[in-house]
Structure 1
């Protein structure tokens, strides 16, 4: 489906053009702009295949708008319409390769003839582009091997991109949907701004990202070939990025269904803390225990318990300490060391924060021993 932008400050004229485009609704998606400035803003946000513009508009006129459109998208097709039968306008329009210039009031037959010419040119460009299918057959016939030796010269990922792909795979392995979404969107943002990179390299990277995302789905391998062909059939990165976002959403949805597995990791972490609270417990030790990265374990632990791991360890130690303060006559310094605090002063401070009383005061009120000692 081709993306078409109508730019005209007159609502009636925009409505007329939309009416004339009604018979093309299966082939064209229409967006409107009420002036040239708004049109430029839209062009900067997404790709358009066709621009239909009035020439006389507020803020930015049609000629300047078309010049900007050509800078952003050299292949964009442009149709002007204007109430001014002025040769200078026509000459400027022709200099922008806008061979379609229609005078107002718009003649329906002339409009359809001009648009048909534009669509034929766009279709021919698309047909030419899809000849790259041979590249797909030669380099992507094996879904288990993304980088055959004979194509390494063209598609060897840079170190930065290799790391990025590694981050995507790690996020998938750890079911970290937040990291996955952030990394993939960073990839999309990066290549939406790069204009001096081989289109084959970009497509290769996109298929690599899509292969990783498809691994989250049971039928991913079966769907891979058709997805790759979509990547190579698309003319514009905006279309490819939309495809990636679609599969990103599907991947995140699949991973989120596996959240109970994350709870198992948190449960095992809590169990270990309960059993080893008096030891020096590092985040790395806990992460290795449940085969997750330290950062990811921290994130899911906080989400599921509402507490950081360090705070949870400290709360367990203080609960154990409160029991010892209440039910034994051990020295406070010994209790601090027994539950894992190396600094007695720090222990007393945290105990008071948790129980609104110093260990001594807490013992006096709650102890089952009449005689306590320090």
Structure 2
């Protein structure tokens, strides 16, 4: 049995999370706490592999709890739940190496994906670091730039929620995921325009843009030239 601690001041929320976990028949030993102070005491007294905690709680909130836990426990896997789509919270929690950040109301599929990944890490004792997550996302982008890569698709493949992956990527790369992917595709387009005789419409499709008009507009907004003009000025 893997010991799990659920922390939320709302009893119905705790019961809801417990229900979702028990519904999937995970091999978990679940303990509940109603606030951060009570949870901190439990974590010091008992061994837990996973902490699932709300952010906004009386007495001691989730950020304070996680900060204090990380002073003496770096291995505990942590999932943060919040009804507030607040980037500042998420950015602060990224420093504490939390495993995931899920928004309320909880999406059962996202929770299941997240829990499955974490349980696999616990069993393997090989947690995936933020750097490895970003490296994997970048590898997917560079190898599959021609596909319709959505945030949801990428998040599912690294077992994170879309919201959390978006925040993590921007923090690590200093650029949004969609902008990074578009820049990558445009760089590929420039190379093809310089070095091949492919038609512009074929290049558009090759790099992942099914709409040639959108590709032309994006290219011109980025480089100040249409793809055709770019080719004329850069023929080798």
TM above 0.5:
yes
Alignment map for 1:292-311 (pairs within 5 Å)? 292-311=160-179
| Structure 2 residue matching 1:241: 3-state secondary structure | coil
More helix by percentage:
1
Please point out which of 160, 164, 168 is paired with 2:13: 160
Give the greater-gyration-radius structure (CA): 1
- 2:110 maps to none
1:146-189 deviation per Cα after TM superposition (whole angstroms, max 9, x unaligned): 89xxxxxxxxx7433445789xxxxxxxxxxxxxxxxxxxxxxx
Please point out which of 42, 67, 80 is paired with 1:249: 67
Instruction: Give the C-alpha shift of residue 206 in structure 1.
Output: 2.6
Q: Does 1:320 pair with 2:159? A: no
Q: Does 1:289 pair with 2:157? A: yes
Instruction: Give the C-alpha shift of residue 249 in structure 1.
Output: 2.2
Alignment map for 1:123-202 (pairs within 5 Å)? 158-163=11-16
2: CA distance between counterparts of 1:160 and 1:244?
15
- 2:112 maps to none
Does the C-alpha gap of structure 1 residues 342 and 210 become closer, same or farther in structure 2, counting only changes over 3 Å? Answer: same
1: CA distance between counterparts of 2:41 and 2:135?
29
Q: Gaps (5+ residues) in structure 1?
A: 1-143, 148-156, 167-202, 224-237, 369-374
2: CA distance between counterparts of 1:244 and 1:338?
46
How many residue pairs are counted as aligned between the two chains? Answer: 163
2: CA distance between counterparts of 1:367 and 1:244?
58
What RMSD, in angstroms, separates the aligned Cα atoms of the two structures?
A: 3.9
Task: Indicate conservation of the 8 Å contact 1:325/1:359, yes or no.
Answer: yes
Q: Gaps (5+ residues) in structure 2?
A: 20-31, 49-56, 75-93, 99-127
Does the C-alpha gap of structure 1 residues 343 and 161 become closer, same or farther in structure 2, counting only changes over 3 Å? Answer: same
Instruction: Give the C-alpha shift of residue 243 in structure 1.
Output: 9.0
- 2:217 maps to 349
1:190-228 deviation per Cα after TM superposition (whole angstroms, max 9, x unaligned): xxxxxxxxxxxxx952379716983xxxx66269xxxxx
Structure with more contact order per residue of length (Cα contacts < 8 Å, sep ≥ 6):
2
2: CA distance between counterparts of 1:246 and 1:313?
36
Please point out which of 37, 46, 49 is paired with 1:221: 46
Q: Does 1:276 pair with 2:144? A: yes
2: CA distance between counterparts of 1:343 and 1:145?
48
Task: Indicate conservation of the 8 Å contact 1:213/1:251, yes or no.
Answer: no
1:132-151 deviation per Cα after TM superposition (whole angstroms, max 9, x unaligned): xxxxxxxxxxxx6989xxxx
Scaled by the length of structure 1, what TM-score is found? 0.37
More strand by percentage:
2
